[in-house]
Structure 1
């Protein structure tokens, strides 16, 4: 049932069950949700339930206060999205090792001629996003973040016998950051 002490409208309880299930479904599909989207869907579910029961809609309003209490009751939290894992093709990634093995066997390649290359971005002027302050100071002065960066490429063969020196890709032919101090 519901963990609330007092419930005036059983249609709201049913709507919240449907809404929690809908949120769980969207989470499994890695579809991001907004507060407005959840509140709109709550209104839609409530009106659909009222229409199915041939009842006049009650006083339910999907307000911000209701939303925060609902999220708290259902133990749903808002988090920042990180990474790109939702965009990855997991089926292709699962099948690729077998395909690569077939290509290597068909071509008769040896580990000394199979190379792998990867890249990494290096932000050499990045400042921390947070700091420590004494309790007497209420707010720290922020500054614009410097996004100066360059890309470093790494490459070696499968056997590990030939490792290329890292290759630096930058907007300048001779970046100042890599020049020796004068």
Structure 2
């Protein structure tokens, strides 16, 4: 190993043109790869930014939807509660009216027929009336005397008792007029 200094190349010993061209093409490819990588990185960064912006918009839309749905559910609950209260008031009025009608007819079946409801519903109304108006629920015990306004009805299904049918219609009209007053 000698410590002899290295000799520098002189211009005459310069690189060959083919070598220079290859080195230049290599540098150009390297620079192009770096430029392509930078462009890809920018495109990826831009796409990730778009993705995150869309995610944020979705989150805000879901939160807004949930707030609006909660407000609408609260409105629905208010409407249901108000309607239930209103219906209860009207059902009490129906129960009172049915009790007033029942005071003038002989049976629950007649009441149901007059009100065009089922016997079961008529009894439910009467039970509701007794709950809300306990003083009205005490039925008067029928007297032993026959009521002169009630005429005997037909006993034979084939025969016609026009007097009883007419009296029945008249008492129905009287009951209905009493209820509407």
TM-score when scaled to structure 2? 0.22
Q: Looking at secondary structure, tell me which structure has more helix per residue.
A: 2
Larger Rg: 2
